[in-house]
Amino acid sequence: MSSSLVNDLAWDRRSTLKASLGLGLGAVLGLGRGQAMAAGTPVRGRSLDYADPVDNLYAFGKIWAGYDDPVIGAFHGLMYVRIGDRRMVPVFGYTGTGAMHAKIDENGDLWLKSRETGYFTDLRTGDILETWHNPFTDRTVPVYHFYNDVLVGKVRKEIPRFFFGVEGDSPTLMNEGTVFPDASGGYPFILPFQAYGDDMLLSWDYTHEYTNPVSPEGWPRSSTGRRITPSEHFTFSFSRNELEDRSLPSLRFQAGFTRVSPCWPFMEMGGTPYADAVLFGRMFSHKGLPGYGDVPPKVLAYVEKHAPESLTVPDHWNEDNSRVDTWKAYAQDVAPENPDFEWTQSSFKVPTGKGAVRA
């Protein structure tokens, strides 16, 4: 969902949330090597110190998730394709859910766990697509639905660096451009909050470049090339009073969610004149209404029918980020187009969409 929007502090070697995406929340979570922790509750009755990484971690967990009970949120909007210098063309909707829970451990570090879905929808009806007609290649292709079944991780007291791809790929610093090193060269977990009266604003950005798990050798139609550059950008709005009220385990937020990347693998742009096309998405993301109030009715009905467990969080705190990267998940779920390409199939059973029919 989105929205999207999870190692040592994150990726040195994300009633719930936003959902995303693609990378979404999963891209935020840094997964360490510690053991599962007992659920904790932050100290109540103390105002926030925005210069303290511990208080920023508390705020982060409260915004994305909730401390007493899991919360559910959603994202929804449109995606466009830009080819060369031609105008952007709307191609489908993008929507999904995120269920999430947070806790603070005895060291003041933040733990988050979630499940996420991501779906593509018909522009006119909003129905979730099982196939999509590619207007550029004039081919009808099966749609790959994104399911992040288990995401559990710990965020420590420094800004996360994300490691995707393979050895040698450079990490991504979260919020590059709004976070800066301290005197020791470290990046303490201090978020770029802006306050205007009770209106609290927060931006959230990550811009990646790494080796494409959907390689041209294995998936010549699905792969857009050897490197991919997905990025996600959020602008949150919420109540400062709610954030600073420690008697509240969670808060309501609304966010703008933007995503820029190469085309999704299922679009099968590989080997065509459109392999270098840019995919742009603009979505709403929100969380905090009672029950499933944030989830669009058609999405809720689809998830309840096909993947109801996605509306819940994992029942453990064991670290796992094996499905956080959409391209990596695709390469695990969808058999290579080249029958001679060596492939390790994921043990996850995809509920719907491309990859759901298992050998």
Whether 224 contacts 246, CB under 8 Å: no
- 309 pLDDT exceeds 70? yes
341 in any annotated domain: no
d(CA 313, CA 67): 13
Using CA atoms, how far residue 175 sits from 8, 27, 193, 233, in Å, is 17, 12, 12, 9
Dump pLDDT digits (tens) for 179-211: 999 999 999 999 999 999 999 999 999 999 999
d(CA 332, CA 323): 9
More confident residue, 8 or 280: 280
> What is the per-residue pLDDT for 47?
82
Dump pLDDT digits (tens) for 32-85: 323 333 334 444 556 899 999 999 999 999 999 999 999 999 999 999 999 999
d(CA 23, CA 16): 16
279 in any annotated domain: yes
Q: What are phi and psi of 70, to 5 degrees?
A: -60, 155
234 in any annotated domain: yes
> What is the per-residue pLDDT for 26?
45
227-245: average pLDDT: 97
Q: What are phi and psi of 161, to 5 degrees?
A: -115, 130
- Dihedral of alpha carbons 26, 29, 33, 36, sign: negative
Place of tokens 């065509």: 272
150-159: average pLDDT: 94
Dump pLDDT digits (tens) for 12-34: 322 333 333 333 444 344 333 23
Residue 6 — very low, low, confident or very high, per pLDDT cuts 50/70/90? very low
348 in any annotated domain: no
Q: What is the Cα 87 distance to its own chain's centre?
A: 27
Using CA atoms, how far residue 7 sits from 12, 100, 106, 200, 318, in Å, is 4, 20, 18, 30, 13
Which residues are 89's β-sheet partners? 81
For every residue of 187-242, which 3-state class applies, written as one string? CECCCCEEEECCEEEEEEEEECCEECCCCCCCCCCCCCCCEECCEEEEEEEEEHHH
- 133 pLDDT exceeds 80? yes
β-strand pairing of 210-211 with 199-207? unpaired
- Dihedral of alpha carbons 56, 60, 42, 318, sign: negative
d(CA 62, CA 300): 24
37 in any annotated domain: yes
Dump pLDDT digits (tens) for 114-129: 999 999 999 999 999 9
Quote the domain boundaries for residue 305.
24-333
- 279 pLDDT exceeds 80? yes
19 in any annotated domain: no
Helix (H), strand (E) at residue 74: strand 71-82
12 in any annotated domain: no
> What is the per-residue pLDDT for 167?
92
Q: How many residues does the chain have?
A: 359
More confident residue, 3 or 194: 194
β-strand pairing of 161-162 with 131-134? unpaired
Q: How many domains does the chain have?
A: 1
3-class secondary-structure state, position 57? helix
Helix (H), strand (E) at residue 330: helix 326-333
352 in any annotated domain: no
Dump pLDDT digits (tens) for 289-307: 999 999 999 999 999 999 9
Residue 100 is given by DSSP the state E
- Dihedral of alpha carbons 45, 51, 53, 56, sign: positive
d(CA 23, CA 197): 32
> What is the per-residue pLDDT for 19?
32
